Structures are given as C-alpha cells and as structure tokens.
Amino acid sequence: MPHPATRVAIENSEQHAHYKIVERAITYLVANQREQPSLALVAKQVGLSESRLQRVFTDWAGVSPKQFLQFLTKEHAKQVLTHAPVLEAALVSGLSGSGRLHDLMVRCESITPGEYKKQGAGLTIEYGAHSSPFGFCFIAVTSRGVCKLAFYDQQREHALLVDELQADWPNATLVHSPTGTEYSFQQIFGNGQSGGDIKLLLKGTPFRLQVWEALLRIPSGQLLSYQQVADAIGKPNSVRAVASAIASNHIGYVIPCHRVIRNTGGLSEYRWGAYRKRSLIGWEQAQIVKRVD
C-alpha cells in the first residue's frame, strides 16, 4: 500500500480532479453524441458552470468539449482508418517519425530466456503512484527501464496493481519508492523536461514483443485496426493473436495500445477503461490540431 502522505497528496491532486471532470464530460458527450449536446447541458451534467467547464476542459485538451467530441465519432475513426496503406508502409519501413514521445526516443530491451526463467530473481523494482493527465498512474521501474505503467481510479486498486506486479515478477524485490519512479514519470508526462531516452524493459514472447514494437511505430493521433497491425507485422491471419498481445500490454500509454481499434471504427475495450481510451485518442488528436493552428 502507498505511504499515507503519498496517498493524500495524490487524492488531493488538482490534476486528477480535473481529469475526473473531463472524464464525466466525455462519458456524457459520447453517450449523447447524436444529439450534439450544448455546453450548457454538459456543464449541468458534471455540476459546473459553463465557463468553469470550458476552462477546465480546454486547459486539459486544448480544445472545446464540442471540438473534442468530433475527434471521438465513429465517422472520424473510419476516416483515419482509410489512411491504412500509408500507415502500413510507415510501420514496415520505420520511417513514420514515430516511436517518439514528447520528442524523446523510446528504447526497448527485452529480458533473455534465462532471465525469464528466473522470474525476476535478483531484480529490484521500484514502484510508485503519481497523478497524470489521465488519472492515477502506477509506474514500476528497474535499473534497465520502465517495466509497468497502469492507470487506475480508486485507491483500493493500487494494492491490486502491486499484487499484479509481483505476479509478473514473482522473484523480484519490490520497493515502494515514488521518488524513485518520479524521473521516469516526468519523462513520460512532464513534456520531456527530464530529458534522455525513455527506456522500457519488456517481458513477453517473441510474437508479443513484435506486436508491441509495431504499436510504438503508430504515429500519435493516428489509429490502426487489429487487422492492419497484423498485416503490418507480416502475419495477416493472426488477428486474434495480435489482439491478445495488445490486451496483454503492461506498459500503457508509452506502448500505445489505445491507438488500435476495430475495423468498423469502434473503439473497443481497453485494459484501463473504455472512457480512458476515448480520452487518450481525443487528446492526442487535439494536440495535432493545436500544433497545426
């Protein structure tokens, strides 16, 4: 369990409070998108004034709630998916300019078969909780890189994530150390202020590693279907296996499994909540609009 002082600091985080407001607004917008609800209706639903909601939402996304809704429609997703030939070529060639997060290169290292057999013996893993733009963030790091990043909403989930981490690395030594994970957290969510490469330590079968590496090459703000990912790695008949590999991703956001959706344009499920997947997709697309403007 997190230290009491750490738990209080996270619970009182203004950033997390704003994300919960945005989450409720997005949930309402998606449920009522056909009616295109006004700002007044959305504000009433989340219990804020129109001006307050507009300010909180725009500070978080960089666009208004109405503009954000446009990024979440199935029609928009389908339009993005029509770019598949270009994206698939980029995935295969590695020339998409992706694999970068906040202008930092993401470098992956996988454990060896011998290390896999040892199940983390001799490995020290520091873990901590932080308040991110997308809710509470549980992050675990080793001397070789981040090995877990998960989002959660309730403090009781923190203990479950610690148990999950221990199950993934049963013989490793776990150390609760938010100060030890702060640097990696800032690299990922602090606009690159910490500098340096983001290093990941991956544990998975060769096939899963191949899928996860393909996800890293999907440019921010773009979407692929499960079939397109399977095609891109040269295994077009392995869609179910690709979906399973994506679902087993333990490093959220950095390995962007949220950028994969159904062929129909539907957003499908997400390990850390369908509403959070909508938030991530819409937020990334909003950042592109901001840069263009």
Indicate the helix (H) or strand (E) that contains 31: helix 14-31
Per-residue burial over 192-222, b if 16 or more Cβ lie within 10 Å, else e, is bebeeebbbbbbbeeebeebbbbbbbbbbbb
Count of alpha carbons within 13 Å of 13, Cβ hemisphere only?
21
Give residues with Cβ within 8 angstroms of 273, minimum separation 6: 151, 153
List the one residue out of 153, 155, 161 whose CA is nearest residue 125. Answer: 161
The one catalytic residue in 108, 137, 147, 257 is 257
Pairing between β-strand 104-110 and β-strand 198-202 as defined by DSSP bridges: parallel
Q: Is 147 part of the annotated catalytic residue set?
A: no
- CA dist 82 and 9 (Å) reads 44
Contact between 7 and 130 under an 8 Å Cβ cutoff? The reply is no
- Collapsing DSSP to helix, strand or coil, 119 comes out as coil
- Cα–Cα distance list, 195 to 189, 192, 253, 288 (Å): 12, 5, 18, 22
Strand, helix or coil at 162? helix
Active site residues: 257
